[in-house]
Structure 1
Amino acid sequence: MKSFFFASFLALATGAAAHLETYASCAALEILHSKKLMYPRDTQYNVTNENYFDVASVKRPACIFLPESAKDVSDAIRILRITKTKFALKSGGHMPGEFTNIDGGVLIATERLNTLKWAENDSVLQVGPGIRWGPVFDEAATKGKVVIGGRLKVVGVAGLLVGGGISYVAGEYGFSCDNIKGFEVVLADGTITYASETRNKDLYKALRGGTSNFGIVTRFDMDTYDLPIGYSNIGMVVFNPAPGVDFKPAFMDALADFVVTGSAADVKSGAIITVTRVPSRGMSLGMMSLWRSEPVANATTDTPDVFKKLVTIPGQHSANNLPLNVVANTFGSQESQGDGGIQLHLHNTFRTGSYIADKDLILEIEQIHEEEFATIADVAGLSATITFQPITQNNIRVGASKRGGNVMGLENRLKAGDDRHFMWTEQFAGWALDADTARVDQVQKNIYNRAKAAAQKRGLWDDFIYLNDAATDQAKDVFPAFGEKNHMFLKSTKQKYDPTGVFTNLMPGGFKI
């Protein structure tokens, strides 16, 4: 009976005026899934709609659909395609700006697609796109294992995985997307399919770096590895803790040594090392979360060589032998409201650049970062961070060797006889008032442009744009940087699996091929 009413309603709706398309889609979804469809009057609507990292992502969708299975997603896509209704897709809600929400359209929020299940004799962990990394790491740890996922518990699973993904053990295991055995995907016509090394191989490759251009992933089947415990050091160094005291030179020297030499020499080491500044307080500090995938006899005294320079700088340091889930759940925990949500950080933005790793260049870029943010120290609530992330040759080669490789094409940037590797910067800024957005954005662009010029002068510039840290105005440059062959492959794969452009024309958010 329900299917009869639905078919009759949809037939009428598709003949309605254009401004009724969204209403028709919401009503049709309500007929099929009344308990999964939320309107602005519903409490759950506001809970989901306000659970973003960036206030600019809070829009006013006409309705929010909360699917609980791949079949539910399939129903939604079929309806939206027939009615030609625009929609947005939300996983963790960590990407800033307008990529994961929509005004007036339908928001598909995946928070109830929260599968977390062991398979294949506990070698594969099946993970839904609505989960964040905290619970995933915790579940893997119950069996003494890790997945090659994100580094902060608050970040969502789906966006990180289809955009590449950097982990604490990337130097040893490659990018996160290189460690996915298969994807369950809903295609543009509503078909539910599976992509792996042996099924839909082109789609499988495209999803490893090509993001949401081909379908909606409803389950990730992730490889797991026996890494029950490792050396951890989580620390903070205030650069000027007292008059006449300056720890910044020592911190930057140690940071640069790790990025340029240590990370490549010790593939078991991984880290988040940032420089954070709060201009209104005249405060700058270094923060670090270090992990090496082998424990030591005594974490207090037996620091791995790769981290010694960093942990001997005076500051707050906590050294332990810990499982990776504890590390991920500790560093950056100030962002969290528990595993079910994230704290709204008012306005924020990201920007990224790629360079040949070089110590002098790191020092110059950090100085540029300090100078530029000093010019807008009056911006309310301003904090700014720059991270230098080593992307080693082993990181790239391991990924390229797994199951046909990912689609990012980084292996083609390696040159015979050149043992240097890349470093990617992540420029993050957060602030309070919308009125200051243009000023902050301009400073972010200034830093990028000055850093690019400095790198070009030294012959150290690289034009790759890492999707997961890119600013919205960098989106157009992401896929061309994969190389002409891979870019054309993505276009042909897109045409094969989404010939009518559902995930381009109806889903305006995200990085488009």
Structure 2
Amino acid sequence: MAFPNIVASWYTTFSLMLLATATSFSPAATRACSALKHSFPTKTFSPKDDDYTLAYNHSWSKTCVLPPTCVFEPTTAQDVSTALKIVEKFAAHFAVRSGGHMPVPGAASIQDGVLISLSKIDQVDLNPDGTATIGTGLRWFEVYEELSKQGLAVAGGRFGDVGVGGLLLGGGVSHFGPQYGWSANCVTRYEIVLAGGRVLDVTKESSPDLFWALKGGLNNYGIVTRFTLKTFPLTDVYGGAVIYDPSRFDDFVKAVAFYSTPEGGMSDSLSAIEPVMAFVPSSGLIQGGTFLFHQGSDAAPSSLANFTAIPANQSDASVRSYPSFVNDTLTPEFNSYASRQLYFTVSLKACPQSVFLVNNTFAPMAFSSALLKKVSGFTTTINHQPMPLSWIEAAQAAGGDTLDLDPAAGPFIIVGISSFWDNAEDDDAVFSFHKVATKAIVTAAEKEGLNYPFLYVNDADPVQKPFQFYGKGKSLPKMRTIAKKYDPAGVFHTLQHGIWSLF
């Protein structure tokens, strides 16, 4: 495959920013940081402070680590309120980071401005009505560990190291999604800091428009500091990571395909899979593996039988507590902060043909590229996330959301394309491959009538336009109207360094 020559490309720009050492900052950012340091001397870090690098560098992918003018680490919503007033006063640019798990340049980072790191807003409180209020700076393993002490769980992230805020504001794929819908559908209250520093409690009754907009609208409306979620009784689960021998790859693909049929495991609302097909162009290696999940203590769930029937090279699948499952099944590669990483996403109708189409389109493109074979440390993967009809129906029953998927369109599969590599000079090559491969999959799917017009924002790249597909195009105008109502000056669209603006 020949890659297009990208002149002054978006990825090159960010790569150069990453490689550069900032020696001077804009007057606006410098003044804002000075004011923050004066008001919060122990919570504001500049390049001369020992904690500065530690505070800004904790992002999952090295493609999205940028050195800010300063880092501000609030502990309360009132801290955030004061900081926003300062930022607005000096018209300084800023970025907001929860867990830092989005692997694209510009996500939760900024080169010349204030990085508001929410990692210290980290409390979990159980409320009298059985809901749990969760700080946005927590990671999901911390949430599960704390709630498990009370015998409870929430429909949060599938991997413990993922941050609370980003997952919930993007919708949220959960192991419990077939029962409860998107993780955001389980949120009953938001504590948010609006432009101008106003702190607002948002519920379906108090602010129904904003309550709806926050379910999938990311941080386009303000800075959410706490989420209140419905809880449910914690049970043991069966699951773990399973890796197959390359000789079993075809069997693995067939198991994924069968799971996507009505009689397959997808119809079991207690089950979930996260199958990954990995390709290494430099060596020609193809390998399959999956995370298996089933709620309850059944050690041989029938919905996962096609996977457990394949002899595995490695497997830690067993009956265990949910916190143990989330924490212990992370592979070193997934939990690594050492490499450069990139996502793209597409969606297809749920059926075996879609699984085969994606694999048969993607694999030849990866292996035919002479350029990819030269990219140091390069591995590219396809991840299939089956979204059963019960998921879409549960989201609707919970009151809906900005994603607003139509049950009549049937179940679908979120296909995530992700790659790992070592060096910034290869960013353009990887980005180009993702872009071309994604287009090829969509084109093939459209030709076969298998395309599902939806992009899951938490798995997307900034050049993709997820909001345009929400509600078949009907959500975005409403989302923009709500943003103008709560942020009339456009602070979160002019000063905030984000990647998916509504405008």
Pairing partner for 1:401 from 371, 384, 397: 397
Query: Structure 2: how far apart are the matches of 1:446 and 1:72?
Result: 44
Give the letter aligned to residue 366 of structure 2.
F
**Partner-residue secondary structure (3-state), 1:449:** helix
Pairing 1:312–2:309 present? yes
Deviation per residue, 1:386-433 (Å, 9 max, x gap): 11111111101111111x21111102xx32xx7x41111010001111
Match of 1:379 in 2: 375
Query: Structure 2: how far apart are the matches of 1:43 and 1:333?
Result: 31
Match of 1:354 in 2: 347
1:19, distance to aligned residue in structure 2 (A): 4.1
Query: Structure 1: how far apart are the matches of 2:297 and 2:191?
Result: 36
Match of 1:270 in 2: 272
**Structure 2 contact 29–93 (Cα < 8 Å) conserved:** yes
Match of 1:12 in 2: none
Match of 1:124 in 2: 131
Return closer, same or farther for 1:440/1:42 CA change in 2, 3 Å cut-off.
Answer: same
Match of 2:285 in 1: 283
Query: Structure 1: how far apart are the matches of 2:182 and 2:466?
Result: 20
Correspondences of 1:192-203 after superposition (within 5 Å): 192-203=199-210
**Partner-residue secondary structure (3-state), 1:247:** helix
Match of 1:250 in 2: 251
Give the letter aligned to residue 410 of structure 1.
L
**Structure 2 contact 357–445 (Cα < 8 Å) conserved:** no
Match of 2:16 in 1: none
Pairing partner for 2:480 from 491, 494, 498: 491
1:473, distance to aligned residue in structure 2 (A): 0.5
Match of 1:5 in 2: none
Match of 1:450 in 2: 440
1:105, distance to aligned residue in structure 2 (A): 0.6
1:483, distance to aligned residue in structure 2 (A): 3.2
Return closer, same or farther for 1:255/1:450 CA change in 2, 3 Å cut-off.
Answer: same
Match of 1:4 in 2: none
**Partner-residue secondary structure (3-state), 2:474:** helix
Query: Structure 2: how far apart are the matches of 1:216 and 1:141?
Result: 28
**Partner-residue secondary structure (3-state), 1:464:** coil
**Structure 1 contact 238–284 (Cα < 8 Å) conserved:** no
Match of 2:99 in 1: 92
1:335, distance to aligned residue in structure 2 (A): 5.1
Which deviates further from its counterpart, 90-99 or 225-234?
225-234
Match of 1:152 in 2: 159
**Structure 2 contact 26–112 (Cα < 8 Å) conserved:** no
Give the letter aligned to residue 271 of structure 1.
I
Pairing 1:462–2:452 present? yes
TM-score, reference length from structure 2: 0.91
**Structure 1 contact 259–388 (Cα < 8 Å) conserved:** no
Q: Which runs of 5+ in 2 are unaligned?
A: 1-24
What is the percent sequence identity of the aligned residues?
29
After superposition, the CA RMSD in angstroms is 1.7
1:477, distance to aligned residue in structure 2 (A): 4.2
**Structure 2 contact 60–102 (Cα < 8 Å) conserved:** yes
1:446, distance to aligned residue in structure 2 (A): 2.0
Q: Which runs of 5+ in 1 are unaligned?
A: 1-17, 240-245, 337-341
**Partner-residue secondary structure (3-state), 2:316:** strand
Pairing 1:115–2:115 present? no
Pairing 1:259–2:260 present? yes
Give the letter aligned to residue 289 of structure 1.
F
**Structure 2 contact 248–310 (Cα < 8 Å) conserved:** yes
Correspondences of 1:73-84 after superposition (within 5 Å): 73-84=80-91
Query: Structure 1: how far apart are the matches of 2:93 and 2:315?
Result: 49
1:64, distance to aligned residue in structure 2 (A): 0.6
1:50, distance to aligned residue in structure 2 (A): 1.4
Return closer, same or farther for 1:254/1:68 CA change in 2, 3 Å cut-off.
Answer: same
Correspondences of 1:27-176 after superposition (within 5 Å): 27-96=34-103, 97-121=105-129, 123-176=130-183
1:345, distance to aligned residue in structure 2 (A): 3.2
Paired positions, count: 472
**Structure 1 contact 274–386 (Cα < 8 Å) conserved:** yes
Return closer, same or farther for 1:137/1:65 CA change in 2, 3 Å cut-off.
Answer: same
Query: Structure 1: how far apart are the matches of 2:94 and 2:382?
Result: 33
1:333, distance to aligned residue in structure 2 (A): 4.3
**Partner-residue secondary structure (3-state), 1:35:** coil
Give the letter aligned to residue 272 of structure 2.
G
**Partner-residue secondary structure (3-state), 1:472:** coil
Which deviates further from its counterpart, 185-194 or 313-322?
313-322
